[in-house]
Amino acid sequence: MDQRQFTKTLRQNMTDAEQLLWKHLRAHRMSDQKFRRQQPIGPYIVDFVHFGQRLIVEADGGQHVDSDHDAIRDAWLRRQGFTLLRFWNNDILHNTDAVLEAIWHAMHTGTTSPPTPLPQGARGGTP
């Protein structure tokens, strides 16, 4: 399957966490900012991206725990000038406000430091 078709398939089969996050990011709903979903960037497809801020937001399930592929992918995207935020699906579903606050904070301060507390938020905790 080529990248364009695969991207279309991903958009049609979003996880519950991706759907919830997209509900809050789509149509300029977050601070009147434009996000895209399931967007190809180079050889990769990212969950959500704000090109103006060079900010990528990823919704991760358990398959991403200690993923070597993710580390290589993230390094490549950072070299392209992107900042990445990763959130566990569980946090998106159960701590939505904290996740949205962390994204807002990254967009408005240019940093990825999430406001305190963001339990298990941007990588490192257990899913």
Q: 49-79, pLDDT tens digit by residue?
A: 999 999 999 998 865 556 678 889 999 999 9
Residue 65: what pLDDT?
58
Q: Report the C-alpha gap between 85 and 81 in whole angstroms.
A: 13
Q: Which residue, among 56, 59, 46, has the nearest Cα to 20 in the 3D structure?
A: 59
User: Residue ranges of the domains in the chain?
Assistant: 3-109
Regions in the chain scoring below 50 on pLDDT: 113-127
Domain 3-109 fold:
Endonuclease; Chain A (3.40.960)
Other beta carbons less than 10 A from residue 35's beta carbon: 26
3-state secondary structure of 43: coil
3-state secondary structure of 28: helix
Residue 78: what pLDDT?
94
Residue 41: what pLDDT?
94
